[in-house]
Amino acid sequence: MKKLLLTCAALALAISAFAKNDALSLIPNDAVTVGVVRLADMRSSPLSSTLFQQTDQVSTNGDAEVFLREAGLQPTRDIDVIMVATSPRTTLGREAEVLVAAEGRFDVDRLTKALLSRGATRTANSVYLVLPNGDGDRIGAVAFPDSHLALVGTVEAVKAALDARAHGGTTFMSASGLARDLARIDPHATAWAIVDVARAQRFADGPHVSNRTTSGAALNSALKTMTTVALWATDSGDALKLGAFGISRDPETLQLVEDTLRGALAAMRLAVQDKEPQLVSVLRKFNVARSDDSVTISGSVPASTFREYVGKQTR
């Protein structure tokens, strides 16, 4: 499933263009994870555009570059919104259906020809294309309802999205328990993700925090006790504002997560104080707060610090 998710996300980034019924209207009703990136907002910001500039400087010189050229696409120009969602394939199973919906602009004919030349096949009614199954993973599909919307994912997820679109969209935003917590996320967020922790843990390769450090392992363990976790980033132009929350009805769980987050921030300050001392003051300004049902962490990274960090990572 992990390979298929990565393939779907990469393909969506490469082929984007979409929006008669927008991507958010197609989030599956039973989604357990949802992520959204508003690339149009990033493109118009002097801060986030740094990422696009760095991306454009990297030459892939491989299959992806040839594919983009044949399809007549420029991802940093043509993609506006990407939505990625996972939902359970069965009630108690460990397999997930994956859906990537993207909004933007593209040439359906050229893109279809490029996919067919790489082993994709048409279905009998030509509603969607079946992707070649080269690594033994789940079979994927691609659909282009119009020149402004692309759907990529497992076959069942794409078929369900097409059906939902034909009926005006899903009811996720109005009826999903997970959607109720979206109000806690910054409404201006450039990118965000929300996870139903209990249900997502059933998936193989489910979301988790890296265990490479002691603080990361502790945080990963603590977050597994929450019912819902979300994170977001907001590009304000002069800074990148970051936030995250975890929800639980258990006071002891909330206290554990709060203590773990404070400890993780302290460990991060110690880790960077010699090599990148300017980050220490940035980390000190991050705030951890607890309410009756949640723990929230928030802070911001100045534009100058962000640009310097991105520059170092791409050298």
Evaluate if residue 223 carries a pLDDT over 60: yes
Name the domain count of the chain.
2
Dihedral sign of CA atoms 274, 278, 281, 282 in order: negative
For the chain, give the percent of residues with pLDDT over 70. Answer: 79
Residue 201 contacts residue 208 (beta carbons within 8 Å): no
Give the alpha-carbon dihedral of 62, 64, 68, 69, to 10 degrees. Answer: 10
170 and 185 share one domain: no
More reliable by pLDDT, 236 or 12: 236
- pLDDT per residue over 86-118, tens digit each? 998 877 667 889 999 999 997 899 999 999 998
Residue 186's nearest CA partner among 249, 226, 219, 230 is 230
Single-letter amino acid code for the residue at 292: D
Predicted local distance difference test score (pLDDT) of residue 49: 64
Last residue of a domain, one of 122, 142, 174: 174
199 and 157 share one domain: no
Predicted local distance difference test score (pLDDT) of residue 290: 96
Tokens of residue 101, six digits: 């919906």
The model's confidence at residue 238, banded by pLDDT at 50, 70 and 90, is confident
Residue 7's nearest CA partner among 79, 160, 115 is 115
Lowest mean pLDDT among 11-15, 42-46, 135-139, 260-264: 11-15
Last residue of a domain, one of 153, 174, 195: 174
Dihedral sign of CA atoms 30, 32, 37, 38 in order: positive
Task: Concatenate the DSSP letters of all residues of 211-273 into one string.
Answer: -SSHHHHHHHHHHTT-SEEEEEEEE-SSEEEEEEEEE-S-HHHHHHHHHHHHHHHHHHHHHHT
33 and 167 share one domain: yes
Lowest mean pLDDT among 111-115, 139-143, 206-210, 286-290: 206-210
The model's confidence at residue 204, banded by pLDDT at 50, 70 and 90, is low
Q: What is the 3-state secondary structure (H, E, C) of 132-172?
A: CCCCCCCCEEEEEEECCEEEEEEHHHHHHHHHHHHCCCCCH
Evaluate if residue 13 carries a pLDDT over 60: no
- Residue 163 phi, psi (nearest 5): -65, -45
Averaged over 180-193, what is the pLDDT? Answer: 93
156 and 21 share one domain: yes
Dihedral sign of CA atoms 279, 280, 281, 282 in order: positive
Look-up of token digits 């992806």: 64
What distance in Å separates the CA atoms of residue 165 and residue 277, rounded to the nearest whole number?
A: 50
- pLDDT per residue over 284-302, tens digit each? 999 999 999 999 999 999 8
Tokens of residue 5, six digits: 């998710």
42 and 191 share one domain: no
Residue 68 structural domain:
2-174
Residue 118 contacts residue 142 (beta carbons within 8 Å): no
Last residue of a domain, one of 120, 147, 174: 174
- pLDDT per residue over 163-174, tens digit each? 999 999 999 998
7 and 153 share one domain: yes
203 and 123 share one domain: no
More reliable by pLDDT, 230 or 209: 230
Q: How many helices (H) does the chain have, and how many strands (E)?
A: 14, 12
- pLDDT per residue over 241-280, tens digit each? 999 999 999 999 999 999 999 999 999 899 888 888 888 9
Residue 126 contacts residue 74 (beta carbons within 8 Å): no
Look-up of token digits 């109000």: 183
145 and 206 share one domain: no
What distance in Å separates the CA atoms of residue 315 and residue 312, rounded to the nearest whole number?
A: 5
What distance in Å separates the CA atoms of residue 82 and residue 90, rounded to the nearest whole number?
A: 25
Evaluate if residue 59 carries a pLDDT over 50: no
Evaluate if residue 56 carries a pLDDT over 70: no
Averaged over 125-134, what is the pLDDT? Answer: 84
Predicted local distance difference test score (pLDDT) of residue 207: 58
Averaged over 201-216, what is the pLDDT? Answer: 63
Q: 10 Å Cβ neighbour count for 315?
A: 6
162 and 270 share one domain: no
207 and 74 share one domain: no
Evaluate if residue 310 carries a pLDDT over 80: no
More reliable by pLDDT, 243 or 134: 243
Evaluate if residue 17 carries a pLDDT over 60: no
- For the chain, the average pLDDT equals 82
Whether the pTM exceeds 0.85: the reply is no
